[in-house]
């Protein structure tokens, strides 16, 4: 049996070696086991993907719902699991620290803390306040009896001001606060990614690749990117196939969508492999 401590050290090792790794984002136990069965080395929950599976939009989930989701995903495969913990589900550093502790109790070996406030009038915390929140999360993580990697996120390109210099200033502050991994989702170009890599010395997570045009994983690895996550893209791809199938049934009434369907026996075999991988 793979213990949480085993998973934690395996996850840390992925960040310590020289190779890039892809961190896919399952949204339920079935997708987690399929991804594990395919051979991925670690998994990350998706806030938006899980929200869609419950019938709501992103940022409409409570911390209790997120923790219940984690408790289902974490034991589903032998792989390390990190999670999108949004903004820590509260403004105070103490709440961020508590969320890290609760996530670890639920089975996580990593988690991200955003600098998104949830307030459209002031979408990001001031840098000093955001760094205090990261610092509290890291202190809580470092007090655990196994490695727990805190990823600090600068949300400028999603919810704040898309200013690369501010992104870099934030990531540098979060690095100083002790963040183990840094992440600025939505970087627009390869040059943006290069600028971030040159400004910090922690492992960098990239969301799929530059938004101006996604590139193969090998190109990101050559730049020095440590890990690439998929966000809600896998969940949205699956739900997109569902919507297109429904539209076909309601439109021409044909069954062309079945050409892309996986046989049930193949999915069952893949999930069984993922549960034991």
Digit-coded pLDDT (tens) for 221-231: 999 999 999 99
Q: Which residue has the tokens 């508590």?
A: 98
Nearest to 43 by CA among 185, 234, 240, 241: 234
Residues 33 and 76: beta-carbon distance below 8 Å = yes
Number of folded domains that form the chain:
1
Q: At what angle do helices 127-142 and 164-176 cross, to 10 degrees?
A: 40
Query: Which range marks the domain in which residue 133 is found?
Result: 4-276
Contacts of 266 (CB under 8 A, 6+ apart): none
User: Which CATH number do you get for residue 14?
Assistant: 3.20.20.60
Q: What percent of the chain has pLDDT over 90?
A: 98
Q: Tell me the pTM.
A: 0.97
Cβ atoms within 10 Å, residue 60: 11
Indicate the DSSP class of residue 79: S
* Mean pLDDT in residue range 186-215: 97
Residue 161 pLDDT more than 90?
A: no
First to last CA, the chain: 11
Residue 215 pLDDT more than 90?
A: yes
Q: Angle at Cα 216 formed by Cα 215 and Cα 221, nearest 5°?
A: 105
């Amino acid at each position: 049996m793979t213990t949480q401590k085993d998973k934690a050290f395996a996850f840390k090792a992925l960040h310590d070696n020289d190779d890039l790794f892809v961190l896919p984002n399952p949204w339920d136990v079935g997708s987690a086991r399929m991804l594990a069965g395919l051979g991925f080395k670690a998994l990350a929950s998706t806030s938006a993907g899980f929200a869609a599976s419950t019938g709501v939009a992103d940022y409409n989930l409570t911390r209790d719902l997120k923790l219940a989701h984690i408790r289902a995903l974490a034991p589903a495969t032998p792989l390390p699991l990190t999670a999108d913990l949004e903004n820590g589900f509260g403004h105070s550093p103490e709440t961020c620290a508590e969320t890290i502790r609760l996530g670890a109790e639920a089975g996580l070996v990593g988690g991200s803390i955003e600098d998104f406030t949830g307030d459209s009038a002031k979408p990001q915390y001031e840098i000093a306040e955001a760094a205090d929140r990261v610092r509290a999360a890291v202190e809580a993580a470092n007090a655990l009896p196994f490695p727990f990697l805190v990823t600090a996120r600068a949300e400028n390109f999603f919810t704040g001001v898309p200013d690369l210099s501010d992104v870099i200033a934030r990531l540098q502050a979060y690095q100083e606060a002790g963040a183990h991994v840094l992440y600025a989702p939505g970087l627009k170009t390869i040059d943006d990614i290069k600028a971030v890599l040159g400004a910090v010395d922690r492992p960098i997570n990239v969301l799929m690749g530059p938004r101006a045009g996604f590139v193969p994983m090998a190109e990101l690895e050559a730049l020095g990117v440590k890990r690439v996550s998929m966000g809600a893209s896998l969940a949205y791809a699956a739900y997109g196939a569902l919507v297109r199938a429904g539209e076909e049934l309601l439109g021409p009434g044909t069954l062309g969508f079945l050409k892309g369907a996986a046989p049930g026996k193949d999915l069952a075999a893949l999930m069984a492999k993922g549960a034991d991988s």
